[in-house]
């Protein structure tokens, strides 16, 4: 294991729940559109990855909604991104347990770090900067949003990160929170750990290394929801190497 590749939304912070949905709704309201995505609707819409794609999908399936041109959807999405990045900059979306600790431990252990995300690159940078300006430089590859042709569950984003890092799939571990993310990483051949988030708790994760509540802190170990260990765990580079060595899986 030479690298850890992190998904962003749901893994670094519970951004879908605390940020993205609210930002979409605010952008709709500001544009004078009578659209509000409640939690139940948003959970279903999350199967469509990418904000522009999600808006377009929703409008196509909403007979009473205006049918907007792609340029209008892109404009709405730009405003949504502005709203979202402001929310992040104001510190409204805290990091999940264990994320910063694992980044530090991975670097200390000589592992490289990557980001593979479907969200817009400016959203990724805003969230990383929340941990300090220098944190962006900890990542040797950040691939996000429209930087690849096809979004998750396509493997493009992971294949691109592996290319940047110059690694084979089996030399990295991906950390994801959703079934679409797991499929993307597995299609790229990368062993994948799942930390469930607000909207993905009920999804299925066959083929993951393990399914955890979060990454854990020494004072707040994470429950193992499926996988190799019985008791609560704190995810460390050593634990991941151990699980990789044992060939564990869900
Ligand atoms: C999650 C997504 C994104 C976000 C919204 O990506 O599918 O579309 O919901 O962000 P990941 P944008 O879990 O891979 O980070 O509106 O910027 O697309």
Structural domains for the chain: 3-13+95-246 (3.40.50.1000), 16-89 (1.10.150.240)
In the residue annotation, 9 being an active-site residue is answered as yes
User: What tens digit of pLDDT does each residue of 118-169 get?
Assistant: 999 999 999 999 999 999 999 999 999 999 999 999 999 999 999 999 999 9
Q: Is 139 helix (H, G, I), strand (E, B) or coil?
A: strand
Distance (Å, whole) CA 97 – CA 92: 16
Burial class (CB in 10 A: 0-12, 13-18, 19+), 92: middle
Ligand 1 site, residue 153, Cβ cutoff 6 A? no
Q: What is the pLDDT of residue 248?
A: 86
Residues 44-82: pLDDT tens digits? 999 999 999 999 999 999 999 999 999 999 999 999 999
For ligand 1, whether the C-beta of 123 sits within 6 Å is yes
**Could you tell me if the CB of 227 is within 6 A of ligand 1?**
no
Whether 242 is catalytic is: no
Give the separation between CA 69 and CA 52, rounded to whole angstroms.
11
- pLDDT tens readout for residues 89-123: 999 999 999 999 999 999 999 999 999 999 999 99
How many whole angstroms from 30 Cα to the centroid of ligand 1?
Answer: 21
The minimum-distance atom of ligand 1 relative to the CA of 177 is 13
Q: What's the CA-to-centroid distance between 117 and ligand 1, angstroms?
A: 7
Does ligand 1 have an atom closer than 6 angstroms to the CB of 10?
Answer: yes
CA-based nearest residue to 154, from 59, 53, 240: 53
């Amino acid at each position: 294991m030479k690298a850890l590749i992190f998904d962003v939304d749901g893994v670094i912070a519970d951004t879908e729940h605390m940020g993205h949905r609210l930002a979409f709704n605010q952008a709709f309201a500001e544009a004078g559109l009578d659209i509000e995505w409640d939690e139940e609707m948003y959970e279903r819409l999350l199967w469509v990855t990418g904000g522009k794609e999600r808006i377009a999908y929703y409008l196509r399936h909403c007979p009473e909604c205006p049918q907007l041109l792609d340029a209008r959807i892109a404009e709405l999405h730009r405003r949504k991104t502005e709203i979202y990045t402001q929310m992040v900059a104001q510190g409204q979306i805290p990091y999940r347990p264990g994320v910063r600790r694992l980044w530090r431990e991975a670097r200390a252990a000589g592992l490289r770090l990557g980001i593979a995300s479907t969200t817009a690159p400016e959203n990724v940078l805003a969230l990383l900067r929340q941990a300090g300006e220098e944190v962006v430089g900890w990542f040797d590859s950040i691939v996000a949003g429209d930087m690849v042709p096809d979004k998750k569950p396509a493997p493009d984003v992971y294949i691109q990160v592996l290319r940047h890092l110059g690694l084979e799939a089996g030399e990295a571990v991906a950390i994801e929170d959703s079934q679409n993310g797991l499929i993307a990483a597995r299609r790229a051949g990368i062993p994948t750990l799942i930390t469930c988030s607000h909207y993905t708790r009920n999804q299925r994760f066959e083929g993951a290394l393990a399914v955890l509540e979060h990454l854990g802190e020494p004072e707040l170990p994470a429950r193992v929801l499926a996988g190799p260990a019985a008791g609560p765990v704190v995810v460390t580079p050593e634990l991941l190497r151990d699980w990789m060595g044992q060939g564990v899986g869900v």
